[in-house]
Structure 1
Amino acid sequence: MLIRCLTAAALLALTPMAAMADPVGTYDVVGNNPDDGSEYRGTAEVKRTGDTYTVTWNIGVSNFIGTGLGAKFVSDTRFEMGVAGPDDIALSVGYVAKDNFGVAMYFEQPDGHWEGVWTYGGSTKATTEKWYRK
């Protein structure tokens, strides 16, 4: 039993859990466009709005808004998606962009920044985006 507890504790220590947890905040954003790979920069703001998150991106002259759900570890072996909460270490977001839509998924990294992948409706490509807390 002691070995199982120590193993679980070691796994938790090595898991990229919450360096800061809680995705709520304002971020500097760096990403790549899926169509041509060009880099873009901007900001993102994440707010908890009841059971969901509201995510607002400002990229160049464009603004995008999304609604997200959180995810967290509920045990040393179980990860659970659900309502927004301060222990969330992952964020899944659906968003609108002008006359299209998209999906994104972000995970908190051990140093506290967030990394994700995203795509838009009708695309056959996905690309990356990183958020650095301001």
Structure 2
Amino acid sequence: MRLKMLLTACLVLLPAVAFADPTGDYQVLGKNPDGKEYTGVVKVTRTGETYSVAWNVGGTEFIGTGLGAKFVGDRFQMGPASPDDTAISVGYISGQSFGMAMYFQQPDGTWQGIWTYGGSDKASLENWVK
């Protein structure tokens, strides 16, 4: 009986654990500040206490460094990059341009984010799907 309860608990918790880690390869769908949609790919890698985030959108590379956060109780806890992170904040560069973005994991395992670039007064949306 005890073993059955333990196995059931593991099966219930396994999907939550599998969803938590932001690392991996994703398809990107986003919208530029002018309203035009774009697609591409992004790779997120944990590099010690931070994340390396590399996008390729329309043949242009964007390289970023990210920090993670996760829910602990009823608040976000920030700290070193962790497989438990459910949010990441990224600063990025491309050529002479720079920007920042914030992504939150959704219940279905996708990541939804908002981003902007240096000097802009607008924010745009982006979604990541494994």
TM-score range, shorter chain: 0.7 to 0.9
Q: CA RMSD in A?
A: 1.2
Q: Tell me the matched-pair count.
A: 115
Alignment check: 8 A CA contact 1:72 1:90 kept: yes
* Equivalent residue number for residue 37 of structure 1: 35
Question: Cα–Cα, structure 1 residues 18 and 116, in superposed 2: closer, same or farther, change >3 Å?
Answer: farther
1:116 maps to 2:113: yes
Alignment check: 8 A CA contact 1:28 1:131 kept: yes
Q: Distance in 2 between matches of 1:63 and 1:18?
A: 30
Shift of 1:81: 1.7
Shift of 1:19: 6.6
Shift of 1:18: 6.4
* Equivalent residue number for residue 66 of structure 2: 68
1:56 maps to 2:64: no
TM superposition outliers: structure 1 runs of 4+ over 4 Å:
none
Q: Give the secondary structure class of the aligned counterpart of 2:119.
A: coil
Moved more, 102-111 or 79-88: 79-88
Specify which structure has the higher proportion of helix.
Answer: 2
Map 1:1-134 to 2 at 5 A: 20-34=19-33, 36-74=34-72, 76-133=73-130
Unmatched 5+ residue regions in structure 1? 1-16
Q: Distance in 2 between matches of 1:83 and 1:73?
A: 14
TM-score, length-scaled by structure 1: 0.83
The amino acid that maps onto 2:101 is A
The amino acid that maps onto 2:57 is I
The amino acid that maps onto 2:92 is Y
TM-score, length-scaled by structure 2: 0.85
Shift of 1:78: 2.2
Q: Give the secondary structure class of the aligned counterpart of 1:20.
A: helix
* Equivalent residue number for residue 3 of structure 1: none
Shift of 1:61: 1.1
Flag the structure with more relative contact order, 1 or 2, with Cα contacts below 8 A and sequence separation at least 6: 1
Unmatched 5+ residue regions in structure 2? 1-15
